[in-house]
Structure 1
C-alpha cells in the first residue's frame, strides 16, 4: 500500500469539464486566455457542470478601458486555477461575462451589475439560475472589493479558503515537500483527496464485486468507523445511508443485472460533487503515482487521530480487516497484513494506535524507497521520505542520520511525544473541510429515533456513537421515502 505509486490512474477531468476549458461556441480549440468566457446561453450549464468548488464571475464591458487594464491581472490569477496546466485545479472556476453584449443584458441585470469591472464570488451552484442583490445579505454570493491587482485578488481568495497560494506557484512544485516543507496549510486541501479516496475505495469494491458473505462484517465495521470518525461530513452522511439499507444494498448488488450494477456504481458515498476526477494534496507528477494510495493513507491517519482510547483496538482491527479484504494490490495487502499480525497485545490507548499506524507507514515508505530506486519507478517530484521531515516537525527528532537526502527510519532517535502531538495536529486540526459543518437534525427535532446495533462488548464505545449516526440516517430515509415506521440496522451477529 504505497503513498506515491498506487497503480490506480486517477480519472481524468470529465468531458464536460474539458469543454469548459475550450472556446465556448467556437471551433473547440483551446483558448489562449485562462479565464472562461461565458454568455447568457451557456452561463448556467458551464457553472453547473464544473467540478470546481467555487466560482468567480467578472462582469465587464468590452469598451471599458479599466476592464482592459484589469484583464492581465485577472488572467494571472486564473492561470493558477483554470486550464489543463492549472497549478491548483478543481478549486475555483474563473469566468467573465461581457455586459456590453446585448444577449447578456438580462443576465447582468440579475446580478445587479452597476460598475465595471465587477467581481462576484460564491459556490458555483449558487450562480446557476441565481441572482445577487447588494442590498440583501441572504445569498452566499459575495462581491470582491479591493482586488485591483493580481496580488490583491489572490490574497482575498486565500483569506476565504484558508489557503496560501502564490502567483509564483508552479505546477507540481508547489506540492513538493522539499520545496515547501514548512507550509503546514497544505494538509487542509487533503480533505478533498480523502473524499476522493473514499469514493474510489467504494467504487473498486463494487467494480470487482468484492462484497461476499465472508467479508460483509468487515465492511460494515469499516463503514461504522467512517460514520463516526470520517473527517468529511458528506462522507459520514453517505456512509450512514449505506448502512441503513446495507442488507438490501448488498443483496441487490449480488443479483443485479448490468443496468442495475451501473445504478449502484452511481451511488455517491461522499455526495454528488464526488468524484471530482482529480487529486489536489495527493497529486503526483505522473498519472500513475500518488493519487488513490496517498488519499487512502491520509484517510487512515485521519481516522486514527479521531478515535478514543476505548475504540483504539477496535479501530485497529477494523482497518486491518478492511485492507485484508478489500485492498486489491496483493503484495501491498500481504505486507500490511503481516504488520497487523505482528501486534500481539491489544491497544489500550489511542496514542499507541496512532503511533503504530505512523510507524507502519514509514516502514512501507522505507521499503518502497529501495524498490523504486531499483526499478526506476519513483516519482521524481515526490520521492519517498520518512515522515514527518524535520522541516515540518524539528521537535520530533532527537537525533537523525541522513543519507543521500533521505532520512533512514532505523537511524532516527524519535521524540515520540512530539511525533504524537504533530500527528494529532496535522491529521486532526489541520485536516478539515472548507465547508461549514452544519447540524444534521433540525434543532426542534424531538422525535424519538431508535436504531439497534448489537455488537460485541469490545465495540461498545463505537457502537454508541454509531447508533446516533444510524438514527440520523433513519431520519433521512424516513423523510425521503415518507414512511411512518422506524428502521433498524441488523445485528452483526445475524450477518
Structure 2
C-alpha cells in the first residue's frame, strides 16, 4: 500500500512537471488550478485591467460584462500618459469591488510597446514586443486607440474600423472622461455619471424579476457564492470531526453538478488537497487549516474568484441580497441537474451543509427544521426541486413579514413569492390575496418544475464562456460566438494542454482510490468534470 501510494505520487509529479515544461501551457499546478485567466490584472491602484497577447482572448471570453472597452496605447506616448487619468476615472465606475456599476462594462488596456508578458517568462525568453501582432490585428494606427464591443467578439483574426457586419466599434470621441462616458451612455441608452457611487442610482440596473434573460448572468454569482462559502468555513474554522463528512459530501455534489465547469474541476482538486491535509478524523491543525485557506478561493472556481461584487444578486443596498441570493441560485441549480437516483443523497448533503456551515444561526435552524419535516425519502429529482422551491418560498414569506415589521426591505428587490407571474404565467392556476395581504396561489407544479429546469438549468449556463483547458485555444467557445477564424494552437501548447488534462484525470483517480481505501468514498461520477 505505501509503496503503491509513493509510486502514484511520483507518477503524478512527473506528469505535472512534464505538462509545465511544454509550450505555452500554464506552469505546474497552475495548469490544473488556474482555470480563470492567469496574469490578467490591474496595476496597483488602477481600475482598468492590463492585458497582453497571452491572456487577451481568454480574459475577454470569460468576462461577465455585456460590453468591453479596450484601450490600445504605448507607455512611451506622452498623450497616453496624459489620457490615463481620464480612462481610469471611467474605469472606476465599472471595474473592481468598489465600482458603482459592476458587471456592466469591463475596461481593459493593452500596451502595444510592451516588451514583456504578464505571464511567467524564463531567463531565455526574448524581450520581444509581445503585443505587436495583437495591436496590428485591431489595425491600431494611433494612440490612444479605443475599441468597444461585446467581450466575446474581440476574438477574431483581423478587424478594421467601420468593418461591415462587426459588433466592434472604434470610439472616436472619448478623449476625456466626460466625453468617453457620454459615448458609452449613448451606446447603451444609460445615464451613468462620473460621480455615481456604489449602491446609488440603482434604478439604472435591470431588475431580474421582470427580465428572464438576466439569469444567465447569475453564473458568475454562483461562482462567487461557492468561493465565499468556502472562505467562511475556513476563516471560522468550521471543519471539525463531526462536520467533516458533510463537507466532503457537498463537495462531491459540486464536482458532479456545479453549473460552472471550472468550479467542478476546482472542487475535485480541493477534495484531493483536503485528503492530503486531513485524511483522518483527527482535528484539523492550525497549519493545515491555513494551508487550505490560502488557496481555497482560487482552487474552487479559478483565479479572480471571489471578485468581491455581485451581478445578478446585487442588491440596492450593501446589506441586501448578495451571498444568500447566490447560494440559493446554486442550490436550485444543483437540484435541476441531478438524476433521480441522486435525489435523496443530494437532499441530505444540502441539508447537512446548511446546518453545519451556514453561519446565520436563525436561518440555518429554520432551514433544518424544514429538512427535518421530510418523512419520506425523495425518489426523483422533480420532487427534490419542487421541495427546495417550496422551502425557498416559505423563507421568503417569513422574511416578508419580518421586513414589513422592521421596515428594512430592499426597495428595489422586495421578497416575493417565486416565480412571479410575469416570469411564469403558466405556473399559476389561480391566485388571490388574504385579508392581511398575503398571496395565496394554486400552483401548476408541472409547469413550475419545467420553469425551474429551464431557468436554473438551461438558461443559467446558456451564455457562460467556460475558462477551462479549452481557453488556451484561440477559437471562441461561446455558444453564441461568430468569430470568423481561429489561430492554430502551437504543438507544444497542445501537448501541454493534453498532459495537464491527463494529470487532472490521474489526480482524480488517485483521490478516488485513496477514498476507497479510507472507507469514505462517496463520489458518484467524475465524468462531467
The Cα shift of 1:390 comes to 0.9
Q: Label 1:401 to 1:241 Cα distance change in 2 as closer, same or farther (>3 A).
A: same
For 2:112 and 2:245, locate their aligned partners in 1 and report how far apart those are by CA, in whole Å: 59
Conservation of the 8 A alpha-carbon contact between 2:397 and 2:415: yes
After superposition, where does 1:165-244 map in structure 2 within 5 Å? 166-167=189-190, 171-175=201-205, 177=207, 181-244=209-272
Conservation of the 8 A alpha-carbon contact between 1:187 and 1:426: yes
2:453 maps to 1:421: no
SS at match of 2:460: coil
Per-residue CA distance 1:156-193 (angstroms, 9 max, x = gap):
x9xxxxxxx7535894335564xx64311111111111
The Cα shift of 1:375 comes to 1.8
How many pairs align? Answer: 398
2:359 maps to 1:331: no
Conservation of the 8 A alpha-carbon contact between 2:428 and 2:442: yes
2:106 maps to 1:93: yes
SS at match of 1:412: strand
2:141 to 96, 110, 114: 114
Conservation of the 8 A alpha-carbon contact between 2:112 and 2:132: no
For 2:429 and 2:517, locate their aligned partners in 1 and report how far apart those are by CA, in whole Å: 46
2:287 maps to 1:261: no
Query: Which residue number in structure 1 is paired with residue 390 of structure 2?
Result: 359
The Cα shift of 1:231 comes to 0.1
Q: Label 1:492 to 1:242 Cα distance change in 2 as closer, same or farther (>3 A).
A: farther
The Cα shift of 1:260 comes to 6.4
For 1:284 and 1:336, locate their aligned partners in 2 and report how far apart those are by CA, in whole Å: 22
Q: Label 1:476 to 1:407 Cα distance change in 2 as closer, same or farther (>3 A).
A: farther
With a CA cutoff of 8 Å and minimum separation of 6, indicate the structure with the bigger relative contact order: 2
Conservation of the 8 A alpha-carbon contact between 2:428 and 2:444: yes
Conservation of the 8 A alpha-carbon contact between 1:362 and 1:387: yes
Q: Label 1:347 to 1:492 Cα distance change in 2 as closer, same or farther (>3 A).
A: farther
Q: Label 1:166 to 1:81 Cα distance change in 2 as closer, same or farther (>3 A).
A: farther
Query: Which residue number in structure 2 is paired with residue 399 of structure 1?
Result: 430
For 2:78 and 2:304, locate their aligned partners in 1 and report how far apart those are by CA, in whole Å: 38
The Cα shift of 1:88 comes to 4.1
Conservation of the 8 A alpha-carbon contact between 1:308 and 1:350: yes
The Cα shift of 1:264 comes to 2.6
Give the TM-score taking structure 2 as reference length.
0.62
Conservation of the 8 A alpha-carbon contact between 1:399 and 1:413: yes
For 1:383 and 1:181, locate their aligned partners in 2 and report how far apart those are by CA, in whole Å: 10
Conservation of the 8 A alpha-carbon contact between 1:385 and 1:407: no
What are structure 1's unaligned runs of at least 5 residues? 1-14, 22-35, 101-105, 136-141, 158-164, 443-471
Give the TM-score taking structure 1 as reference length.
0.65
2:464 to 434, 437, 447: 434
Q: Label 1:485 to 1:230 Cα distance change in 2 as closer, same or farther (>3 A).
A: closer
What are structure 2's unaligned runs of at least 5 residues? 1-40, 114-128, 160-165, 174-179, 193-199, 473-499, 521-529
Aligned-residue CA RMSD (Å): 5.0
2:349 maps to 1:349: no
Q: Label 1:52 to 1:18 Cα distance change in 2 as closer, same or farther (>3 A).
A: farther
